[in-house]
Structure 1
Amino acid sequence: MYRPSISCAGLLCLGFLTVLPAQAHRTEVSGDVAGTWHLEPNHSARAGEPARVWVALTQQGGRVIPLEQCDCNLAVYRANQTNAAPVMQPALTAMSPESFQNVPGATITFPEVGEYRIVLTGSPTADAAFTPFELSYTTVVAAGSAPSAPTPESKLSLADQTATRLEEPGDRRRLWVALAAGGVGLAIAALLLLRRQNLPRPKDESPNP
């Protein structure tokens, strides 16, 4: 009678997943540590809006690894940029979501729309015994509803914006033409006024009494 075989890796994952809730998903194994990722809300982060990410760490057999027993670090990278510096390195805090207690988590605000890779690395503290691990999770960040930050130009006063626009060559030429036309107009008006003052005044032609 044929019996299907189960690989060691399959048994290892089965040992990890038996203690995870039914709705848990996106689980990755590194060494003897498994991490189940969760991104709130609904694994659909939006740019400019805070999102909460947490990782349920378990060892084979189902023992949960709390944050105090893990020297963990979290980093966020652009998914399409290899060997690049992280976009951010959020501080980890102990969270207790669902049926877990004190698992590592953080609040992340993704700056822009795009694909990101979240990487959690960890090693045991003196009170724990597990192999160092590296777990990663890739997510696509959609456009958010948060208002964008004002551009530096919008913060300028009206006078500053006018001065900035006048720095362009075409604007400078128009300004000089306007000033020259105004000067010519003032000169003509002054000449006419001076000429009028120099004209002889008419004598009084009324008859003598």
Structure 2
Amino acid sequence: MTHVADAETSPATVERMVETRLPTSYGEFQAVGYLDPRWGHEHVALVHGEVAGTTPLTRLHSECLTGDVFGSTRCDCGPQLDAAMRGVVTAGAGVIIYLKGHEGRGIGLLAKLAAMRLQEDGLDTVEANIALGLPVDARDYDVAAQILTDLGIEQVRLLSNNPEKLDSLRRNGIRVVERVPLLIAPNDDNLPYLLTKRERLDHLLPHLA
């Protein structure tokens, strides 16, 4: 049975609310639900195996309704989540922190759809957000570090291509022992999106042509 650290160690700005077994097609997880009272966001940590006091494979995953749920091919979010869940189970232990409030790099679902419409007219994802008067990337990963601390995790193998995630964890006292690439093969729909992430947002995507 999965064991996580005592909730009494939880930082003051995030509250552990519930914990339950979550069997999935990938394997068995423990779903640990958190509330961020600052914004009312509800986050979940999917914990596989024994992680407290170890260096688990860890993914910080920003919510993406279009990719994670609807299977949109305009981004790589759904395949990344799929690969992360498979990778954590294959590793024998690990954590996936699913971060709410991150839709469209933090601008929200309706604004994201509006930005997607502008992309059909030739703007990239950065230009579209700016055209709407919105931040290029409004995501905050500090809460992820607080969740890791609550789970008894001080260091991780981070499954990510985004340097900002590494920097945020380090700023918040989580040691990143290794960055594990999470590279998804591009398709005709998401190649412009991936190239923008590499060229304009400094994501580490060396596999792109």
More contact order relative to length (CA 8 Å, sep ≥ 6): 2
Q: TM-score, normalised by structure 2?
A: 0.25
Structure with the bigger percentage of strand: 1
Structure with the bigger percentage of helix: 2
Q: TM-score, normalised by structure 1?
A: 0.25
Structure showing greater radius of gyration is 1
